[in-house]
Amino acid sequence: MTPFLLSQLCIALAMCFDAMTFQFRQRRHVVYCLVCANVLIGVHFGLLGHWTALLMMALAATRNLVSLRGPSRRLMWVFVSLTVAAVAATWAGPLSLLGGAAALLPNFAMFSRSDKRMRVLIMVSTLIWITHNAAIGSPMAVLMEVLFLGGNLVGYYRFYLRGQKPRVSI
């Protein structure tokens, strides 16, 4: 099996873990699924030779586990600093910038006390990952992120928009 096909298989497995996150109510179970997905996505990027993105996923898996301890501004800034340092260390042009930008936002999201803010930041990050994954030519990774974005949009609608009365401006 070629590295490209193996990378796409890793993404297919990561999609299963991403889908499972929507089925759990306890944050701990959601985070464990995200960590498994992060590891598989990181392997995918490694197989394709995208080292910045691989490091972003390794940091994401670590950050997600650490975030279980609760929101901490200090830890958030540690992961922001590590993300910037990893991008600088693996700089390979605009793709590194896209991966770094996509990875920065979840640092703020995972340590947020607001579920609503967390969801919005994750959705913006997902849009950037879609662009990154299209640029590297990974169709399964694009599909995975599109499905993840769709799931988050449904959740956002269910939790924050449904049932709210429209605001009337005078």
Residue 31 forms part of a structural domain: yes
Q: What is the domain range of residue 80? A: 3-161
Q: Is the pLDDT at 163 greater than 70, yes or no?
A: no
Average confidence (pLDDT) over 64-78: 89
Residue 48 forms part of a structural domain: yes
How far from chain centre, in Å, is Cα 156? 16
Q: Which of 31-35, 110-114, 124-128 has the highest mean pLDDT?
A: 124-128
Average confidence (pLDDT) over 96-116: 91
Q: Answer yes or no: are the C-beta atoms of 43 and 87 closer than 8 Å.
A: no
Residue 166 forms part of a structural domain: no
Percent of the chain residues past pLDDT 70, beyond the cut = 95
Output the pLDDT for position 100: 97
Integer CA distances (angstroms), 137 to 7, 73, 99, 146, 166, in order: 11, 36, 14, 15, 41
**What distance in Å separates the CA atoms of residue 100 and residue 52, rounded to the nearest whole number?**
7
Integer CA distances (angstroms), 128 to 95, 96, 121, 161, in order: 11, 12, 11, 24
Q: What pTM value is reported for the model? A: 0.89
- Residue type, position 12, single letter: A
Write the CB contacts of 159 (distance below 8 Å, at least 6 apart in sequence).
115, 116, 119
Average confidence (pLDDT) over 39-45: 98
Percent of the chain residues past pLDDT 90, beyond the cut = 70
Residue 8 forms part of a structural domain: yes
Residue 17 forms part of a structural domain: yes
Residue 88 forms part of a structural domain: yes
Q: How confident is the model at residue 169 (pLDDT cuts 50, 70, 90)?
A: very low
Residue 169 forms part of a structural domain: no
Residue 168 forms part of a structural domain: no
**What distance in Å separates the CA atoms of residue 110 and residue 117, rounded to the nearest whole number?**
10
User: Structural domain tally of the chain?
Assistant: 1
Place of tokens 């600088």: 88
Output the pLDDT for position 164: 57
